[in-house]
Amino acid sequence: MVRYDPKILQKYAEILYRDARFVVFVTTVIGTLFGAAAGLVIGKGLASSYGAPENQPAITGIITMSIALVGGLIGYLVDQAIAFWYRLRAQLTLCQRQIELNTRVVARARQASQFDQEIQP
């Protein structure tokens, strides 16, 4: 027979919180990398079209960094919503765990009270 173990719910909540942090970190990095790649392409195109030859590396670098930051910010903001749902599930799990623990204490107290009443004449 399977027995209730509150440690499993605690572990599950910890995993959900870890996953929430991991998702935000990974998508921020991916957004930054995609932004850098797009910025490099756009920067090269703009620098060769509008910039003097001696300024092309600087223009390309500035555009690449700017778009990389925007890509990272977009990745961060998008996954904050996903991370919220992970944290919400973790909180619901912890709430269920606490309800079970509180109910168990009350049930044991009632059983002890009923037992004491049955023993007394």
CB 76 within 8 A of CB 100: no
Asked if residue 8 has pLDDT above 60, the reply is yes
pLDDT at position 116 is 58
Cα(110)–Cα(112) distance, integer angstroms: 5
CB 62 within 8 A of CB 43: yes
Domains of the chain, by residue range, sit at 6-119
pLDDT at position 102 is 86
Q: Is 0.75 surpassed by the pTM of this model?
A: no
CB 28 within 8 A of CB 72: yes
The pLDDT tens digits for 49-100 are 776 666 677 778 888 899 999 999 998 998 898 999 999 999 999 999 999 8
